[in-house]
Amino acid sequence: MSNLVLENVSYVYRNAETAAVKNASCEFENGSFYAIIGPSGSGKSTMLSMLAGLDLPTSGDIKFQGESLNEMDLDRYRRESITMIFQAFHLFPLMTVTENVCYPMELCGMHTKKAKERAKPLLESVGISEEKHGRFPANLSGGEQQRVAIARALATGAKTVLADEPTGNLDAANTVNVIEILRALAHEKDYCVIVVTHDPEVSDMADVVYRMKDGVLTRER
Ligand SMILES: Nc1ncnc2c1ncn2[C@@H]1O[C@H](COP(=O)(O)OP(=O)(O)OP(=O)(O)O)[C@@H](O)[C@H]1O
Ligand SMILES: [Mg+2]
């Protein structure tokens, strides 16, 4: 079964004259790394926010592992089933690296001690060495901050990763590094990774590329 399925999904913003997403149908499987490309304003973020359960389609249906998002507890879906990574890393500035990664686990009810035990190997898996775990985000480079954001996104174990321009603030070397991490999650750990991007370097590394144009989604390759 596909992890996420869109069936004739449209989204119209309140007061808008045309739909931001028009009749999109597609499937996203575990084990693959997807890119969604397309010009500014074409509907990429709108599509991602529906996949994230932040907005329900105006018409059509999105199914997660066979169940319609319309019928699910969306707070729980967002907390437990999916995870998001943003361009602006949204790390909590007054929390240390470790505390940032522990936060979503504690939100799911895990004790601090256990969360810390889990945070350590997660951070090491994205190349953040132990000496940096006690630092505040401001004292890391941009690429390091984004890798901490990825570790935090992986903390709950949710295997559907949705990322909106996750490399938008990074240089070429860090972009490749971050995409390698996301791609390895898909290929080695069976994650479903969906990345919205303007960057051809990112989409070149994807298994499947979808293109958005004026709200219309087509499969590019
Ligand atoms: N809250 C909103 N209310 C009304 N219209 C919106 C809202 N958010 C986005 N839109 C419109 O919906 C369309 C799609 O926007 P969306 O943010 O999905 O584009 P995008 O492809 O992510 O663009 P970018 O690459 O610039 O991030 C645009 O025409 C935009 O102006
Ligand atoms: Mg966008």
pLDDT tens, position by position, for the chain (221 residues)?
899 999 999 999 999 999 999 999 999 999 999 999 999 999 999 999 999 999 999 999 999 999 999 999 999 999 889 999 988 778 999 999 999 999 999 988 999 999 999 999 999 988 899 999 999 999 999 889 999 999 999 898 899 999 999 988 888 888 898 899 999 999 999 999 999 998 889 999 999 999 999 999 999 99
Counting ligands in written order, the one closest to the CA of 42 is: 1
Q: Atom 27 (ligand 1): residue with closest C-alpha?
A: 40
Q: Do 50 and 28 meet the contact criterion of CB atoms below 8 Å apart?
A: no
Q: CA 108, CA 114: separation in Å to the nearest integer?
A: 12
**In angstroms, how far is CA 139 from the centroid of its own chain?**
24
pTM of the predicted structure, to 2 decimals: 0.92
Choice from 9, 14, 18, 44 to test ligand 1 binding pocket (greatest atom count within 8 A of CB)? 44
Structure tokens, 43:
């509907």
Which of 121, 5, 118, 144 lies closest to 62, judged by CA?
5
Question: What local confidence, expressed as pLDDT, does residue 138 receive?
Answer: 95
Which of 142, 186, 178 lies closest to 161, judged by CA?
186
Which of 96, 15, 10 lies closest to 46, judged by CA?
10
Which residue segments constitute the domains of the chain, with CATH numbers given? 4-219 (3.40.50.300)
Q: What number does the ligand 1 atom closest to the CA of 38 have?
A: 21
Question: What local confidence, expressed as pLDDT, does residue 171 receive?
Answer: 86
